[in-house]
Amino acid sequence: MSQFKLVKISVMKDLFELGIVFRGFVLVKHKFKKLSTIKEIQEKSKDLRGAFISAINSFATNAFNNVSLEYLESDKILFVFKLAQVKAMDCNYEEPVILYGLINKPKKDTDKVVKRFFEKVEPILSLFVTTFSNKDFTELDQFEPFTEEIKSFF
């Protein structure tokens, strides 16, 4: 097991999904529970999630001079983003890698939930960057076992 092991996280009982995006593609994700458990929510365009996350991050970075977006808030869900940098084998510089979480929106203290989320997922993102630095990111099968790492943190 990894050196970044965390204690079980009861704080994240409202976590629906956790995933990692690179260059517009969701490389790995784990669903903790279905979004459809929230009234009026359906998962129709799940394949667009990676492209959306990359695009919104690129927009925030370019439009607001390197400011990263931390979360988007709807009436029912928080879409939280934690950024890092990773170097792929086919590139000479580091590029953004984005860990995202879909969380049931709390009635109050959204910023507090986001802060706790960041604290809890930092080791997962660090482990991902350490494990896959200088790898070929076009080989998507290599990321599949990382799902078990994500599950083990929770």
| Residues 102, 30: Cα–Cα separation, whole Å | 11
pLDDT at position 8, please? 39
Q: Is residue 6 part of a domain?
A: no
Domain of 21, in residue numbers: 16-36+46-153
- Mean pLDDT, range 53-64, rounded to an integer: 85
Q: How confident is the model at residue 81 (pLDDT cuts 50, 70, 90)?
A: very high
Which has the higher per-residue pLDDT, 85 or 45? 85
Q: Is residue 41 part of a domain?
A: no
Q: Is residue 8 part of a domain?
A: no
Number of domains in the chain: 1
The CATH number covering residue 21 comes to 3.30.450
Q: How far is CA 44 from CA 38, 48, 59, 98, 126, in A?
A: 14, 9, 24, 22, 31
Q: Which helix (H) or strand (E) holds 125?
A: helix 110-132
Q: Is residue 5 part of a domain?
A: no
pLDDT at position 40, please? 54
Q: Is residue 122 part of a domain?
A: yes
Query: Which tens digits make up the pLDDT trace of 11-23?
Result: 467 899 999 999 9
- To the nearest whole percent, how much of the chain has pLDDT over 70? 84
Would you say residue 10 has pLDDT above 60? no
Q: How far is CA 134 from CA 102, 151, 154, in A?
A: 28, 24, 27
**Beta-ladder partners of 85:** 96
